[in-house]
Structure 1
C-alpha cells in the first residue's frame, strides 16, 4: 500500500513522512478516524514506507523487495491483529490471516461488516481475545527479521476488553525497533490504560470534493452521479463505494414505493414489500435505510425553504418536491428516527422480516397521527 493509492489526507501523509525523515517515529501510535476515512490504509502505507529500502521523498518506492512483500501483506516483520469471530478459545488472528489479506487487498477501506462477510461469523460477537493478546506478546518478543522495524497494526482496539491490559507492558516497553500502530474509530471505547500509552494521530473524514473526484476519475462516474454519492456518503468512502456497487436508482424507487404503501396503508402490499426487503442482504438493507434517511433529510431542506442546499439529481428532486407537499418536517423527522433505529438493529443482526414489518407499522402510525392532528386544527 502506497500513500498515492489513498484518497485525500494529504496533510496526514506529509506528517507521517516527516516523522520518518526527522527520526521522530513514536513506538506506539493511535490512528483515530471515522469509518471510511482511510485510517487503516494510512497505517499500512506508513508501515510500508518505514520498511522501504529505497524511500522516495513523498512515498515508498513500491518496487523493492520489502515493498513487494508489503503489497501482498506477507512481509515477515509486518503483523496484524483485528477482531474476529472465534470458533475455539485458542483461535487467534493468524487463524484468519488468509481471509484478512484477501479482504484488505480487495478493499483497503475495510469495515467490520465487510470483514464479517469474509468469515463464518454467524451470530457471534467480534472480539480480540486473550489468546490473541498472548500471541501478540510472543510475536513481538523477537527482533526484526529483515527490516529496520517490526510492526504490529492492531485494527479496532475498541474490541479489546479487559484482556487488553495484558499488552500494557509490551506497549510501554517494547523490544527495540518494535512499533504498535493502533487503528480506531471510537476513542471512548478504547481502554484508558492503552490510550494513555499511545501518540494520537487524528484523521478527519474525507471531504465532499475528494470523494466526488475519486468516483469520477477512478470509477468513471458522471459528475452528477458522483456528486450525489459523495453527498450522501457524508465523508465515508466505504459507504460511497457500497452505494456505487449497489446503485441508488433501485433504492430510490423502492423507498418511494414503500412510503406510498405506508401512506395508503396497503396492508397486503406492505407484507409483499417486507418479504422483498428481507431478502436484500444485510449490507443492501443498511444502504437502503441509509438512502431513505438521506432522502428524507433532503425533503426537510425543501420544506424549510432551503432548495439551494438540496443535492438530488433531477428525477429524485422532482419526486422529493411532490412528496414535500404531503409531508411535514415533524413527520419526516419521525420517519427518519424509525429508519435510524432500524439501521442500528440491522447492524446487530435483527430479524429483517420482523424489523421491516415493525418499521412499516410505525410509519403508518406516524402518518395517521399527523392526519389526525391536521384534522383537529
Structure 2
C-alpha cells in the first residue's frame, strides 16, 4: 500500500512522511479516524514507507524487495492484530491471517461488518483476547528480521478489554526499533492506560470531491452515479465502495416523489409507493433513507441561509429550493428524525412494509397537517 493509493488525506500523508525524514518517529502512534476514512490503509502505507529500501520524497518506491512483500502483506517484520470471532480460547490473529490478507487486499477500507463476512462468525462477539495479547508480546520481543523496524498494526483497539493492560509494559518500553500503530474509530472506548502511551494522529473523513474523483477513476462510475454516491457516503469510503456494488437506483427521484405524496396526502398512492420501497432490498433501503437524511440536511442549510455549504448537483439543488417553500426548519428536522429512526430499524430487519407505511404517515402529518413532534404527541405548529 502506497500513500498515492489512498483517497485524499494529503496533510496527514505529508505529516507522516516528514516524521520519517526528520527522524521523529514515535514508537506508539494512534491513527484515529471515523469508519471508512482511510486510517487503516494510512497505517499500512506509513509502515511500508518506513521499511522501504529506496524512499522517495513523497512515497515508498513500490518496487524494492520490502515494498513487494508489503504489497502482499507478507513482510516478516509486519504484524497485524485485529478483533476476531474466536472458536477456541487459544485462537489468535495468526489463526485468521489468510482471511485478513484477503479481506484487506480486496478492500483496504474494510469495516468490522466486511471483516465478519470473511469469517464464519455466526453469533460470536468480536474481541482481542488474552491469548492474542500474549502472542503480541512474544512476537515483539524479537529483533527486526529484515527491515530497520518491526511494526505491529493493531486495528480497532476498542475491542481490547482489560486484557489489554498486559500490553502496557511492551508499549511503554518496547524493544529498539519496534513500532505500535493503533488504528481506532472511537477514542472513548480505548483503555485510558493505552491511550495515554500513544501519540495521536487525527484523521478526518475525505471530502466530497476526493470521494467522487476516487469513484470516477478507480471504480469507473458514471459522473452522475459517482456524485450521488459521494454525497450519500458522507466521506465513508467503505460505504461508497459498497454502494457501487448495489443497484444504481435514482434515490433523488424516489425521495422527492415520497415528499410530494406526503404534501398532497395521497394515501392510496402512498400505499402503492410503500410497496415499491419494500421491494428494494435492505441495503438499497438503507441508502435511500440515508439519501433522504442528507437531502433534508441540505434543505436545512438553504433555509438557514448557508447555501454556500450545500453540495447538491444543480438539478437536485433546484428541487431543494422548491421544497423549502412548503416546509420550515422544524418540519425538515422532524422528517430527518423519522428517516434516521427508520434507518436504525431497517438495519435491525424491521418489516419494511409496516416501517415505510409508518414513516409515510408521519410525513403526511408533518407536511400536510403542518404538525411537528412534541414527545409522543403531535401538536399544531
TM-score w.r.t. the length of structure 2 is 0.84
For residue 355 of structure 2, what is the aligned residue in structure 1? 358
Matched, 1:115 2:115: yes
Output aligned runs, 1:160-171, within 5 Å: 160-171=160-171
Matched, 1:272 2:275: yes
State the distance in 2 between where 1:362 and 1:285 align.
13
Measure how far apart 1:67 and its partner are.
1.1
Output aligned runs, 1:80-229, within 5 Å: 80-221=80-221, 225-229=225-229
Does the 8 A contact of 2:247 with 2:284 survive in 1? no
Measure how far apart 1:366 and its partner are.
5.0
Measure how far apart 1:227 and its partner are.
4.1
Deviations 1:99-118 (A, max 9, x none): 21112111212222222222
State the distance in 2 between where 1:129 and 1:346 align.
32
Does the 8 A contact of 2:50 with 2:149 survive in 1? yes
Unaligned 5+ runs, structure 2: 372-378
Measure how far apart 1:202 and its partner are.
1.4
Change in 2 beyond 3 A, CA 1:359/1:197: farther
State the distance in 2 between where 1:304 and 1:220 align.
36
Cα RMSD (Å): 3.0
Does the 8 A contact of 1:158 with 1:189 survive in 2? yes
Change in 2 beyond 3 A, CA 1:85/1:335: farther
Q: Secondary structure at the match of 1:180?
A: strand
Measure how far apart 1:260 and its partner are.
6.0
State the distance in 1 between where 2:309 and 2:195 align.
39
State the distance in 1 between where 2:117 and 2:194 align.
29
State the distance in 1 between where 2:211 and 2:40 align.
17
Deviations 1:272-292 (A, max 9, x none): 346424xx24x4443232112
For residue 365 of structure 2, what is the aligned residue in structure 1? 368
State the distance in 2 between where 1:56 and 1:122 align.
45
Deviations 1:158-194 (A, max 9, x none): 1212221121111112222221100112211111000
Output aligned runs, 1:219-368, within 5 Å: 219-221=219-221, 225-246=225-246, 249-256=249-256, 263-266=265-268, 269=272, 272-273=275-276, 275-277=278-280, 280-281=281-282, 283-301=283-301, 310-313=310-313, 315-317=315-317, 320=320, 323-324=323-324, 326-346=326-346, 350-353=348-351, 357-358=354-355, 360-365=357-362, 367-368=364-365
Does the 8 A contact of 1:331 with 1:366 survive in 2? no
Which stretch of the first structure deviates more once superposed, 262-271 or 84-93?
Answer: 262-271
Q: Secondary structure at the match of 2:31?
A: strand
For residue 50 of structure 1, what is the aligned residue in structure 2? 50
Q: Secondary structure at the match of 2:241?
A: helix
Does the 8 A contact of 1:261 with 1:269 survive in 2? no
Which stretch of the first structure deviates more once superposed, 267-276 or 103-112?
Answer: 267-276
Change in 2 beyond 3 A, CA 1:357/1:133: farther
State the distance in 2 between where 1:204 and 1:87 align.
35
Measure how far apart 1:70 and its partner are.
0.7
Does the 8 A contact of 2:28 with 2:197 survive in 1? yes
Q: Secondary structure at the match of 1:146?
A: coil
Measure how far apart 1:312 and its partner are.
3.3
Measure how far apart 1:203 and its partner are.
1.8
Measure how far apart 1:265 and its partner are.
3.7
Unaligned 5+ runs, structure 1: none
Output aligned runs, 1:14-29, within 5 Å: 14-29=14-29
